Amino acid sequence: MDIVLKKRRNFFPKKRLKTIKIWVYNILENQNSIYNQLYNVFALFLIITSTIGVFIELLNLEIKIPPDLKLFLDDYEEIVLWFFVVEYVLRWWAISDFSHDFNRGFNKAECRSSTIKRYWCGIKEGLKPKFQWMKTPYAIIDLIAILPIIRPLRAIRILRVLRILKVVRYGTAIKSIFGALKEEAYLFGIIFTLLVLWVVTFSQVVYIVEYHYGNQEMFKSMWHAIYWGVVTISTVGFGDIHPVSDIGRLITTIMISGGVIIVATMTGAFSAALVNRLLVLKEGELKMENLEKHIVICGWNETAEEIVEQIISMRIDKEKPVVIVTNVPKKEFEIELPRDIFYKKGDFIHEHNLLEVGIDKAEHVVIVAEREEGLSERNIDARTALAAMLVKNLNPNANIYVEVLLDEDADIFTNRINIKEIIIHGQIIGKIMFSSIMNPGATTLMKALVDKEKGIQKVQVGDIGKFETFGSLLNFARQHSYLPIAIERNGENIVNPPDSFKLEDTDYVFLIPSGVEQ
């Protein structure tokens, strides 16, 4: 996030383009997005249907394909190939932010270096994550699948068939269907067995009756009878085979009536399984271990609600996954959660609940003081401490932010759990109100400083450029309408350091943007 230099290089993608990139990423790469699930089903359909003609050619089946169908299959394969070429390019584009990576590489280069060298460093840094993505197994499969777009390579038939390997990438859609079936496997097994017995039994009874009445021309064998039973019970009824005797027709009527009930039961059970799958997702009972570099909010109260509202307003949920873990039912939330914010029902002091939301790969973890009936403030802080220790143990690299209710409990988090970001519930509000009493107008200033768009912004010094002292950074920032007010080093804040203060690339600087409209 290059804040200071964004006005110097305004040829990079704008906010609208970034929104489009996030939208594309959610469709193609974000497995927790409903758009990705729908796209996977569509892509599976394209893969399977576009390989039909190739398999017929490869297996040398003695099947004569009609000329018009052959022409259609060839054209269809060409269209699908180009579709996946576009998909590959979009994945390559959306997998990383080139402008951000370019700026980081450009600014890390020595200021004394030539402009061409600095641009070259920026380009290398910008392309690095994209080339790393190209070496992943899924990306290699995608590349193999589109190689036949080069016409000379189409002579290698196996390359055309290898497109079917892309099914592995879109396996989440298949897993969702099989997951629903697996949950009701016992019920489906009973219904399916009953259906098979029903069709086979009645088919053979009708076969015996029709054979007795001389209808051997239609019911030539028991297999013809089973074929007739399947076609009849599925309500297709081609009419090529049918009973002619009154008893055979009566038995057929009974078979159809019972078969319709059994088929309807199976259809209803499958629909119920899928609906139940959606309800499970809605109620937050699914596992989300595949999330990474995401935000986890443990607990729910007015603080968590305000955090989520800020996340939604700044569209952070469009850039990275956000998960809420709480015992509070979703229907009791006073705000409506968008689809990009996931809800997990469960107690956040239980390790398995945290692991199910990928806490070990989370980037930021917020633990709020969730109130429960019968729990004192001391007990609530104890639950918060237990959750903080669990998170610290499961993910030592996570940025952890904790809200406590009692002032004296804050020392426990600082000294024993080594949590740096601690907010004491009500303390900051009280201090701001007292400051306003002593200094009228201070509240307005505080609100401006914490404004999500124009307030304080934190940037790594190395992302801005090479600066030896705070004074040189101050002069540079003022030229671009920013005011540095503090430096963070190893978790410690140094407010308004002297101009001679030595800077390191790993330091962070807190900047206030100019209030003058640019």
Give start-end residues of each CATH 3.30.70.1450 domain in the chain: 456-513
Instruction: Indicate the pairing of strand 364-367 with strand 399-404.
Output: parallel
CB contact at 8 A, 150 and 168:
no
- 282-300 in b/e form (b: 16+ CB < 10 A) is eebebebeebeebbbbbbb
Q: What pLDDT is recorded for position 145?
A: 85
Average pLDDT over residues 184-204: 86
3-state secondary structure of 293: coil
How far apart are the C-alpha atoms of 89 and 466, rounded to whole Å?
Answer: 35
Residue that the structure tokens 């979009």 belong to: 90
Q: What pLDDT is recorded for position 490?
A: 78
- 365-388 in b/e form (b: 16+ CB < 10 A) is bbbbbbeeeeeeeeebbebbbebb
pLDDT tens track for 352-407:
889 888 899 898 999 998 988 888 888 998 998 899 999 999 998 888 999 888 87
| Helix/strand/coil percent split, the chain, to 5 | 60, 10, 30
How confident is residue 53, by pLDDT bands cut at 50, 70 and 90?
Answer: confident
Q: 414-423: which pairs have CB atoms within 8 A and are 24 or more residues apart?
A: 417/385, 417/388, 417/389, 417/392, 418/392, 419/388, 419/392, 420/491, 423/303
Average pLDDT over residues 327-345: 84
| Model confidence at 517: pLDDT above 60 | no
| Model confidence at 408: pLDDT above 60 | yes
Q: What pLDDT is recorded for position 197?
A: 92
Nearest to 170, CA basis, from 26, 303, 37, 338: 37
The phi, psi pair for 465, rounded to 5°, reads 160, -165
Nearest to 469, CA basis, from 498, 440, 449: 498
Q: What pLDDT is recorded for position 511?
A: 87
Q: Could you say which DSSP state residue 481 is in?
A: T
Q: In the structure encoding, which two tokens stand for residue 450, read together?
A: 């914490």
Average pLDDT over residues 430-445: 72
CA atoms within 13 A on the CB side of 341: 21
Average pLDDT over residues 449-455: 65
Give start-end residues of each CATH 1.10.287.70 domain in the chain: 184-282
How confident is residue 9, by pLDDT bands cut at 50, 70 and 90?
Answer: very low
Q: Which residue has the higher pLDDT, 247 or 437?
A: 247
Q: In the structure encoding, which two tokens stand for residue 32, read together?
A: 């927790």
How confident is residue 83, by pLDDT bands cut at 50, 70 and 90?
Answer: very high
3-state secondary structure of 317: helix
User: Which class in CATH covers the domain with range 295-425?
Assistant: alpha beta
Q: What pLDDT is recorded for position 157?
A: 63
C-alpha distances (whole Å) from 477 to each of 116, 200, 470 are 24, 83, 10
Quote the mean pLDDT of the chain: 80
How confident is residue 172, by pLDDT bands cut at 50, 70 and 90?
Answer: low
Give start-end residues of each CATH 3.40.50.720 domain in the chain: 295-425
Whether the predicted model's global pTM rises above the 0.85 cut: no
3-state secondary structure of 181: helix
| Model confidence at 158: pLDDT above 80 | no
The phi, psi pair for 413, rounded to 5°, reads -70, -35
Please report which helix (H) or strand (E) contains residue 432, including its range. helix 427-438
CB contact at 8 A, 402 and 426:
no
Q: What pLDDT is recorded for position 58?
A: 67
Lowest mean pLDDT among 49-53, 170-174, 411-415, 435-439: 170-174
Q: What pLDDT is recorded for position 85?
A: 93
How far apart are the C-alpha atoms of 407 and 357, rounded to whole Å?
Answer: 30
CB contact at 8 A, 96 and 109:
no
| Model confidence at 318: pLDDT above 60 | yes
Q: What pLDDT is recorded for position 453?
A: 60
Length of the chain equals 518
CATH 1.10.10.10 fits 184-282, yes or no: no
How confident is residue 177, by pLDDT bands cut at 50, 70 and 90?
Answer: low
CATH 3.40.50.2300 fits 456-513, yes or no: no
Q: In the structure encoding, which two tokens stand for residue 349, read together?
A: 């002091």
Lowest mean pLDDT among 126-140, 258-272, 310-324, 407-421: 407-421
Q: What pLDDT is recorded for position 22?
A: 76
